[in-house]
Amino acid sequence: MRVLITGAAGMVGRKLIARLAKDGTLSGRKIAALDLHDIVPPQAPALEGVGVTIHTGDLAAASAMERLVAPRPDLIFHLAGVVSGEAEANFDLGYRVNLDGTRALFDAIRLAGFAPRVVFTSSIAVFGAPFPDIIPDEFHPTPLTSYGTQKLMGEALLADYTRRGFFDGIGIRLPTICVRP
């Protein structure tokens, strides 16, 4: 199995890589290759018999995503993003990375013509506030920040590309406590 992780140098990315290195498998399949991408070089894990490739650069840069999906990963963890405070402070950067970068990745997959599993990290910021301790499925998303809006748009893209069969996508809404170490 070939796995691509965007945002691999962030907190969630580093924990995911450590877990993959410990297990060596995912869903019962041996990990044969790891492609790790971030704006800064992610740390390569020590995995015997696993090819690890480090990629650095801007997620939204022209043709960056085409190069990342060219090896046709079986599973893509899209963890990359500009987090809430920075996305609010730098409107253009937030939209360029969180929306344009996400769409560039999704389009690169679509245009490459293969259908991997895509795990997209979103945020509870899509709900705004206040919200209950337990958020039911029918709770209406009403983001109050640019970050929440960007993540909600990413979720909509994920759902549409999945509906169209371009990939098998799933989103996970994380609390806004996960930042780069």
* Catalytic annotation, residues: 147
Place of tokens 């790891």: 34
Pairing of the two strands 117-123 and 2-6: unpaired
Cα 96 to the center of its chain, rounded Å: 14
Closest CA to 58 of 37, 31, 79, 34: 37
* Cα(150)–Cα(87) distance, integer angstroms: 9
Closest CA to 42 of 59, 58, 23, 55: 55
What DSSP character marks residue 8? T
Phi-psi region of 53 (alpha: psi -120 to 50; beta: other; left: phi over 0): beta
Tokens of 39: 């704006």
Tokens of 23: 């297990």
